[in-house]
Structure formats: structure tokens, C-alpha cells
């Protein structure tokens, strides 16, 4: 009996945080060499992908009354999800197209890889829908053409990312660690942040993070050990530009987080907890005091269960 053809998939596109983000140098082409410990977390967009006869269609949705920058998400060729579909369909010479529906939940321009994880999920989904049998390595080779965070978002879990993000090393799975996530209504220009950091590198280079210490902390698998190693080089320039980020980080620490840090180039901040109930209670208290800030309490995640 012939297997039933899969014509539609609905998948979760998980956000990420940077437990460590270090800049180890700048390349002649303008890209930066990174040493970053990335962690997949349980905040996600929902991506539906349908086979069509030809072309690519993209629709962006979000819940009524919810505005986390979603109205700024393009629904055309500028969207990374669209570009991911275009790239894979072309590379595989697929005779067919796709319709993509992005239901946004991850705040936009937040340092959480919202666009990158949508693109990664589209690559994974089309790979299954069209029986392309691309392995993870090949998908990551395509993904890095779209953005430095895309390879990690394809693989997920807990990873050390080096190079421009394409060199991934799986790390030990931490124990029960939970995240209180906060995204203030602040616009941060990633380009301006990196430009400011380049100037800092020239004038007063900061010390590099101790990656081996970070790996050891992760192997211990507890929030306090991880919290002692949190580091984001970009915070050295983003936080002085946006003192709201510093204030929010300090408030999260007051609410019992073992440690708190800005993710990516900002402006999102996260705190680590070893108890989900404590993280949720802190999020509720902070939401009452800061109604303009998006808060969520979520666990660490470790794999893409839908396609296992």
C-alpha cells in the first residue's frame, strides 16, 4: 500500500537566548567571529507549510490585541521564512511551491531569533514535505546563508556556536532550568550595536569569556552554576545606550533570579530560575508593575519533537 502523501505540516519555531555571547574578532568581509552558548527555550511561533502547485505565498498572523512589533514583520521576499523557502526549493530544484502561514508569538527585533527560527522551521518543514532527505548538516549550510542564528535554530538544544554561527558543538543538557523572559518596548539597532562594539574593540578590548568554565557549569545542570557564567559582550555597548534594559535586569534579580542577562543585541532580558512556579510568580508580579513589557516564564527546550 502506498503511504499517504503529506501535504501540510504545522510546526513550532522555538526562540533562543544567549547564555554567553562573545565577539572574538572581525573578519575582512565585515562579519564577526562569535563564541556563543545558545539555548532553545519554550517560547515559539507556529509555522504552517502547505504544498502548492507553484510559487511561494506567505501570510503573517498574530492574536488580536497582541502587538509585539508583529505589524512590522514583512509578508514578502524580505521575510527570512520566504527567503528560506525560495533558497531550498531552488537548491533542490523542486517542481512545486509552498504556502506559509506564520503565527507570531516571539517578540520582534528582540534578540530572540524570531525571524531566524521561522526560517529554520521552513527549511526543516519543506525538507519533509517534499521528501528531500537533506541531512542536518546540509540544511545548516543553507541556513547560514540566511543568518548567523539559523543553523542553531535548525538544530536546537544547547550549543556552542563559533565562527559566524555555522560551527556548532552540542553541549551537555542542563538540568531543570527555567527562564523569566522580558522584552521592553525599546528599539535596538543591531547594526549600531555592532558598530559601537567594533569601536570598543579598537579602543579597549574586553576580556574573552571562559568557555570551558561555561561548559563545566552546564554539565553541573543547575541554575546557580549557569548564572555565575552568564556573559554578553554586546551588553557593554547596548546597556549604556538603553538604561531601561539595565533597570529591567535589576528588577528581575530582585525577583529571585539566580542570574540575569540581555540576550543577543537586545533588548530582551532573561533571568534563570530552578523552579517554574517561582519564575511564573515573578513574571506575574513584574507584569503588574510594568504593563508595557512583555513577560513570559518558560523552560529550556532540547529538541524538535515534531520531526523526531
Pairwise CA distance, residues 12 & 31, whole Å: 29
pLDDT of residue 83: 98
Confidence of residue 113 (pLDDT cuts 50, 70, 90): very high
Quick: pLDDT tens for 73-99.
999 999 999 999 999 999 999 999 999
All cell numbers assigned to 204: 579597549
Q: Where are the domains of the chain?
A: 8-171, 178-299
Of the candidate ranges 5-9, 51-55, 155-159, the one whose mean pLDDT is the lowest: 5-9
Confidence of residue 304 (pLDDT cuts 50, 70, 90): low
8-171 to CATH, choices 3.30.230.10, 3.30.1360.120, 3.30.43.10, 3.40.50.300: 3.30.230.10
For 170-222, give the DSSP string. E-PPPSS-EEEEEE-S----HHHHHHHHHHHHHHSPPPPP-HHHHHHHHHHT-
Model confidence at 1: pLDDT above 50: no
Quick: pLDDT tens for 164-220.
888 999 998 777 889 999 999 988 888 888 888 888 777 776 777 778 888 888 877
Share of the chain above pLDDT 70, in %: 95
Pairwise CA distance, residues 51 & 8, whole Å: 6
Q: Which residues are identified as catalytic?
A: 16, 149
Pairwise CA distance, residues 80 & 172, whole Å: 30
Model confidence at 306: pLDDT above 60: no
Model confidence at 276: pLDDT above 90: yes
* Mean model confidence pLDDT for the chain: 90
**Residue pointed to by grid coordinates 504552517:** 48
Pairwise CA distance, residues 3 & 137, whole Å: 27
User: Three-state DSSP class for 163?
Assistant: strand
**Residue pointed to by grid coordinates 535554530:** 153
Compute and round to an integer the Cα radius of gyration of the chain: 19
Per this entry, what is the length of the chain? 308
Model confidence at 308: pLDDT above 50: no
Pairwise CA distance, residues 32 & 194, whole Å: 9
Pairwise CA distance, residues 39 & 230, whole Å: 12
- For the domain spanning 178-299, the CATH number is 3.30.70.890
CB neighbourhood size of 279 (10 A): 29
Quick: pLDDT tens for 3-50.
567 899 999 999 999 999 998 877 877 778 888 999 999 999 999 999
Pairwise CA distance, residues 240 & 234, whole Å: 11
220 contacts: CB under 8 Å, gap ≥ 6:
none
Residue range 240-260: mean pLDDT, rounded: 95
45 contacts: CB under 8 Å, gap ≥ 6:
12, 13, 102, 103, 104, 105, 106, 114, 117, 118, 121
Amino acid at each position: 500500500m502506498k503511504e499517504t502523501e503529506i501535504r501540510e505540516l504545522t510546526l513550532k519555531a522555538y526562540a533562543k537566548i544567549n547564555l554567553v555571547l562573545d565577539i572574538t574578532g572581525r573578519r575582512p568581509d565585515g562579519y564577526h567571529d562569535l563564541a556563543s552558548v545558545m539555548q532553545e527555550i519554550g517560547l515559539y511561533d507556529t509555522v504552517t507549510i502547505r504544498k502548492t502547485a507553484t510559487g511561494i505565498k506567505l501570510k503573517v498572523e498574530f492574536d488580536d490585541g497582541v502587538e509585539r512589533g508583529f505589524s512590522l514583520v514583512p509578508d514578502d521576499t524580505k521575510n527570512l521564512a520566504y527567503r528560506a523557502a525560495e533558497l531550498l526549493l531552488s537548491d533542490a530544484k523542486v517542481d512545486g511551491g509552498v504556502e506559509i502561514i506564520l503565527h507570531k508569538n516571539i517578540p520582534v527585533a528582540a534578540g530572540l531569533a524570531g525571524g531566524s527560527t521561522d526560517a529554520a522551521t521552513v527549511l526543516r518543514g519543506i525538507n519533509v514535505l517534499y521528501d528531500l532527505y537533506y541531512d542536518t548538516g546540509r540544511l545548516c549550510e543553507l541556513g547560514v546563508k540566511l543568518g548567523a542564528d539559523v543553523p542553531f535554530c535548525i538544530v536546537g538544544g544547547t550549543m556552542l556556536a563559533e565562527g559566524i554561527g555555522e560551527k556548532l558543538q552540542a553541549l551537555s543538557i542542563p538540568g531543570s532550568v527555567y527562564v523569566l523572559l522580558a522584552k521592553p518596548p525599546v528599539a535596538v539597532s543591531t547594526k549600531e550595536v555592532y558598530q559601537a562594539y567594533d569601536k570598543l574593540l579598537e579602543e579597549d578590548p574586553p576580556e574573552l569569556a571562559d568557555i570551558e568554565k561555561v561548559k563545566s557549569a552546564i554539565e553541573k545542570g543547575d541554575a546557580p552554576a549557569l548564572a555565575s557564567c552568564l556573559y554578553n559582550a554586546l551588553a557593554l555597548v547596548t546597556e549604556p545606550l538603553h538604561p531601561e534594559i539595565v533597570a529591567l535586569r535589576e528588577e528581575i534579580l530582585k525577583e529571585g533570579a539566580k542570574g540575569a542577562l540581555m540576550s543577543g543585541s537586545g533588548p530582551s532580558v532573561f533571568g534563570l530560575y530552578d523552579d517554574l512556579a517561582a519564575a511564573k510568580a515573578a513574571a506575574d508580579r513584574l507584569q503588574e508593575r510594568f504593563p508595557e513589557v512583555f513577560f513570559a516564564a518558560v523552560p529550556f527546550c532540547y529538541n524538535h519533537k515534531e520531526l523526531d
